[in-house]
A and B are shown apart, each in its own frame.
Chain A
């Protein structure tokens, strides 16, 4: 499959990544080769095969509804690059 610049723009937006013009050429080539590589799977006849989604045998693992393993606000804010006493801070989201 040919990877176009428009595809790179769309995917990088979905992935919240940004590439410079130089990097774009590189990632386009890499992605094209990686996609070509995984297209080897097209050779297989998979009619009637169900996808395998979960690797664990455990189903509906329930526990008592007790508060444990949670962290305090102070601890939760400790690693944030920008915060007030009570919130994480981000640039203004709603524009007037």
Chain B
């Protein structure tokens, strides 16, 4: 009977012959089939995964050394391109689209020996916080199927939560990896903006988007990041900084006390569940008692970050989504006798969902003549203010602690009617995307209602190693009695 706890343990069992890649793939295919009602997958590459697993087994048994992700079974969000496979952003507008190239991230996973087992459900064009806005229908939280898994990478979170793959990829524009990780009780990392190439990631808001990783151990997340990160000829915004060895760096012992900042305004915010606030306050108190530096830092912009985020991301989305015109790829209306403009308008109106249209309209408004400076430029200035304030904090501190979400997973349908209530659920996650810093959600806590919730930790730009180290420490600490 195959079981998975970490990539390291899996590789040991491959080497001592107690497991094979094919057994692993069969195990996951069986679990995926048994959990179809969760609706996490939109496409399953069963035969292909079996063939690749068998080939990897043969290579290993013939003595070829294992690549770092040899046989690791990975699911990818339906916004990440994989050559020859369906890619739809959970939207009708990309109905029938098959990618003709692979994302750089996927290419690197494959080179490192990974097996891609399928593509994962999400909110349409990654716009949403509940995974209720998908052309394929909603995804269920495996811990309580009456609740949402979070979004937009809901399928990716549930795939790891329910043991349907070892690691999964999501994308994080405003919290779409960290928030579902929090609500599902797993680890979710959003790296620094530009750490992983965006080539082959369907664009939502290009100055915010970043591929992120879901996993069950920090070591697995670190290794997956290491494989995907770094310069890429096909993305001129990706960072050319060298990629540190996260895996080895994690093992180096750190004795220096941590320097942690927290925002009292955030922990005492009226929208925050008191139990979540209490849990984080307690953790901070304990860390301080253990000799770490824990300090409150005043942060007055908390109520402005979500508005700034929505102005900028909808502006970028309205521009990015103008490419879906029913001409070069995807859906085209079946109505006859239309002129070219009617063809565009009818196609787009028939195939985009409500939330996507709302955001395109707001984005079009903030970019339109007469309003551009008052809304769009203004939000860019707020972004600068935030960026500068954050850099000041990181002069004195290594990490900022925040909740990931204001509440645990809510009931399906609870917030769908009010877009603003939904947007406010992003209050703690959008900051990292606005300033481009890495952030992680760690599954440290459980609420009296039975649902898990996490702690969000943020570090300075390109300080993933430091972020992964503190994450490892916090999870270890939690496991100790």
Q: Among the listed B239, B318, B385, which residue makes an inter-chain contact with A57, where contact means beta carbons less than 8 Å apart?
A: B239
Q: Among the listed B193, B322, B383, which residue makes an inter-chain contact with A16, where contact means beta carbons less than 8 Å apart?
A: B322
B383 touching A40 by the CB < 8 A rule? no
Q: Could you say which residues of chain B place their CB within 8 Å of the CB of A39?
A: 307
Q: Is A53 part of the contact surface with B, judged by Cβ < 8 Å?
A: yes
B361 touching A91 by the CB < 8 A rule? no
For B310-326 the 0/1 string (1 means CB < 8 A from A) is 11000000100010011
Complex Cα spacing A18 to B234, Å: 35
Complex Cα spacing A66 to B330, Å: 30
Q: Is B377 part of the contact surface with A, judged by Cβ < 8 Å?
A: yes
Contacts across chains A and B counted by CB atoms under 8 Å: 169
For A32-51 the 0/1 string (1 means CB < 8 A from B) is 01110111111110100111
Q: Among the listed B236, B304, B365, B436, which residue makes an inter-chain contact with A43, where contact means beta carbons less than 8 Å apart?
A: B304
Q: Is A17 part of the contact surface with B, judged by Cβ < 8 Å?
A: yes
For B328-368 the 0/1 string (1 means CB < 8 A from A) is 11111000001111011110110010000110111011101
A18 touching B346 by the CB < 8 A rule? yes
B345 touching A16 by the CB < 8 A rule? yes
Nearest CB in chain B to that of A8: its residue: B361
B379 touching A38 by the CB < 8 A rule? yes
Q: Is A67 part of the contact surface with B, judged by Cβ < 8 Å?
A: no
For B100-140 the 0/1 string (1 means CB < 8 A from A) is 11000000000000000000000000000000000000000
Complex Cα spacing A8 to B357, Å: 12
Q: Could you say which residues of chain B place their CB within 8 Å of the CB of A50?
A: 381, 384
List which A3-26 residues lie within 8 A (CB) of chain B: 7-8, 10-12, 14-19
Q: Among the listed A18, A46, A54, A78, which residue makes an inter-chain contact with B207, where contact means beta carbons less than 8 Å apart?
A: A54
CB contact under 8 A between A68 and B307, given known A14-B364, A58-B239: no
Q: Could you say which residues of chain B place their CB within 8 Å of the CB of A56?
A: 193-194, 237-239
- Whole-angstrom distance from the CB of A88 to the nearest CB of chain B? 5
- Whole-angstrom distance from the CB of B414 to the nearest CB of chain A? 18
Chain A binding site: helix, strand, loop or mixed by DSSP? loop
For A75-93 the 0/1 string (1 means CB < 8 A from B) is 1101111100000101111
- Whole-angstrom distance from the CB of A43 to the nearest CB of chain B? 7
Complex Cα spacing A40 to B332, Å: 39
Nearest CB in chain A to that of B462: its residue: A57
A90 touching B348 by the CB < 8 A rule? no
Q: Among the listed A15, A33, A41, A58, which residue makes an inter-chain contact with B361, where contact means beta carbons less than 8 Å apart?
A: A15
A80 touching B327 by the CB < 8 A rule? yes
B361 touching A12 by the CB < 8 A rule? yes
Q: Among the listed B361, B379, B423, which residue makes an inter-chain contact with A27, where contact means beta carbons less than 8 Å apart?
A: B361
Complex Cα spacing A1 to B234, Å: 42
Q: Could you say which residues of chain A place their CB within 8 Å of the CB of B96?
A: 79
- Whole-angstrom distance from the CB of A37 to the nearest CB of chain B? 5
Q: Could you say which residues of chain A place their CB within 8 Å of the CB of B366?
A: 38
A46 touching B194 by the CB < 8 A rule? no
Q: Which of A16, A30, A57, A63 has the most CB of B within 10 A?
A: A16
Q: Is B419 part of the contact surface with A, judged by Cβ < 8 Å?
A: yes
Q: Could you say which residues of chain B place their CB within 8 Å of the CB of A81?
A: 326-327, 329-332
Q: Could you say which residues of chain B place their CB within 8 Å of the CB of A12?
A: 345, 361
B387 touching A52 by the CB < 8 A rule? yes
- Whole-angstrom distance from the CB of A44 to the nearest CB of chain B? 6
Q: Could you say which residues of chain B place their CB within 8 Å of the CB of A42?
A: 378
Q: Could you say which residues of chain A place their CB within 8 Å of the CB of B357?
A: 17, 27
Q: Among the listed A51, A58, A61, which residue makes an inter-chain contact with B381, where contact means beta carbons less than 8 Å apart?
A: A51
Q: Which of A49, A75, A93 has the most CB of B within 10 A?
A: A49
Q: Among the listed B101, B307, B332, which residue makes an inter-chain contact with A38, where contact means beta carbons less than 8 Å apart?
A: B307
- Whole-angstrom distance from the CB of B270 to the nearest CB of chain A? 15
Complex Cα spacing A14 to B375, Å: 17
CB contact under 8 A between A17 and B361, given known A40-B307, A75-B100: yes
A46 touching B378 by the CB < 8 A rule? yes
CB contact under 8 A between A80 and B240, given known A11-B368, A18-B349: no
New A-B pairs, 8, CB < 8 Å, besides A42-B378, A56-B238: A15-B360, A16-B322, A17-B345, A18-B349, A34-B362, A46-B378, A55-B193, A91-B340
Q: Which residues of A contact B (CB under 8 A)?
A: 7-8, 10-12, 14-19, 27, 30-31, 33-35, 37-44, 46, 49-58, 61, 63, 68-69, 71, 75-76, 78-82, 88, 90-93, 95
